[in-house]
Structure 1
Amino acid sequence: MSFSLNEVEAQAKKATRGAGYSWGMAEEAGRATAWLCAQGRDGVAVLAAVLDAAPDADHCSLAQGTRLCDRAKIAPSQNRVLHRVFQPLLLLPFVGFASRQIGQPLSITWEGGSAVTDGASLCILGRDPDAQADLAIAIHAGTFTAGTKFTRATPDSSAWDMLSQFAHRTYAPATEESRRLGAGDSQSNAL
């Protein structure tokens, strides 16, 4: 199935909130997931893996990414090394967001691969990072070739279903009064 990037962002935001993250983190997760999909990666599957595993904040790519953006302007010229980041692909959008903040492209390296982003586009060389990896982030000197941009996402169906399950946790439970006033699906109203 194909989804617009807006649909991906909304579903990712609801799912992240349903997994117990704050609304602020949920908004960041939605934006990051859609950004990955726009870069041709399955951001939905990456986010689903993070939400399902619920890694501690020291290794969670979502938590690490938001911290990176919060500190981007403090010391932009310093290299950063992050250890044992879980689902490091989810960190790439945040590196892109930080790149926009400082106005310079950033490079990310891991064992077997690297990436460069200016916030709008992404170029990955080598293989994608493992499910858990050490990453080094630095200012990129030079040019890079941007990858293809996508306007729709075709996520793995089981990952989309997992996000739907997490998102369902944010829905208010049905009550007799809400049904009487027309809430819910048409089958429950017909009963």
Structure 2
Amino acid sequence: MKLSLNEIEATAKRAVRGAGYPWGVAEEASKSTRWLCRNGHDGVAALAVLLDKDLACSADHRPLATNETWRGAADLCPLVTGAFLSDCAQSLRSGPVTMQRVAVPLLILPFAASAASELRGCVRVEMDGHVAVTDGDNLLCDDMLPELAERIAVHTSEIVPSWRPRSAQMNPDPESWDRLAALAHRTYAPATRESRLRGAGAGLSDND
């Protein structure tokens, strides 16, 4: 099942909202999912794993401090933590940003890419021995990342690797796609008698 990036982005946005996140987070998450898929990683599967963890409605999953190692009362949500990283991009010029216990760390990488774009250079992300590098548009990353990273360190980097080719389509894990579709369905208002009549065209009139 090959899907366009537009389809993936639209469904991801509604799925994140359906899982309880605000629309602003859903917007960023959908762009992140698209970016990962464009760079050859199954962002759909990563997002489905995250949304199943049900981290949206608790402040425990947000960073408590941004002037030292970022940590939460529980595992950090990569969507919320990633937004902090994007906002703090300029601080990477002074040294690395470190984070503790981040769920689904693949989803941090699009936000590292946003930081790289702002800095107009490359950013290197180290995750429990795994390494990813991005210049904002491209990504070079290990294919198999853990579901939880005990420690993440984000640095600026002078190394520009050979990038993988990008894609305009993705063949996501079918079960993950079905999960996102089910969550997205929560955002659709149920049909009312009035809306059904409007959609029927003729309404209550009988032209025969």
Is the pair's TM-score, using the shorter chain for normalization, greater than 0.5?
Answer: yes
Match of 1:105 among 122, 134, 153: 122
Q: Report how far residue 143 of structure 1 moved.
A: 2.2
- Across the aligned residues of Structure 1 and Structure 2, the Cα RMSD in angstroms comes to 1.4
- AA paired with 1:131? E
Which protein is bigger by CA-based radius of gyration?
2
**Cα displacement (A) at 1:12:** 0.5
Alignment match, 2:134 = 117
For residues 75 and 123 of structure 1, do their structure 2 counterparts lie closer, same or farther at Cα, with a shift above 3 Å needed?
A: closer
Does the CA-based 8 Å contact 2:105-2:127 persist in structure 1?
Answer: no
What aligned pairs does 1:139-158 form with structure 2 within 5 A after superposition? Answer: 139-158=156-175
- 2:145 alignment partner, SS class: coil
Q: Percent identity?
A: 43
SS in 1 for 2:93: coil
In the other structure, the counterpart of 2:86 is: 69
SS in structure 2 at match of 1:91: helix
Tell me, in whole angstroms, the C-alpha distance in 2 between the residues paired with 1:76 and 1:171: 43
The equivalent of 1:128 in structure 2 is: 144
Q: Aligned match of 1:84 in 101, 122, 132?
A: 101
Q: What's the TM-score, normalizing by structure 2?
A: 0.83
CA contact (8 A) 2:45 2:177 kept: yes
SS at match of 1:123: strand
For 1:37-48, list aligned pairs within 5 A. Answer: 37-48=37-48
- 1:101-135 CA-to-partner distances (Å, cap 9, x unmatched) read 1112000112232011001111125x632100021
8 Å Cα contact 1:110-1:136 kept in structure 2: yes
The more displaced of 48-57 and 23-32 is 48-57
Unaligned runs of 5+ in 1: 184-191
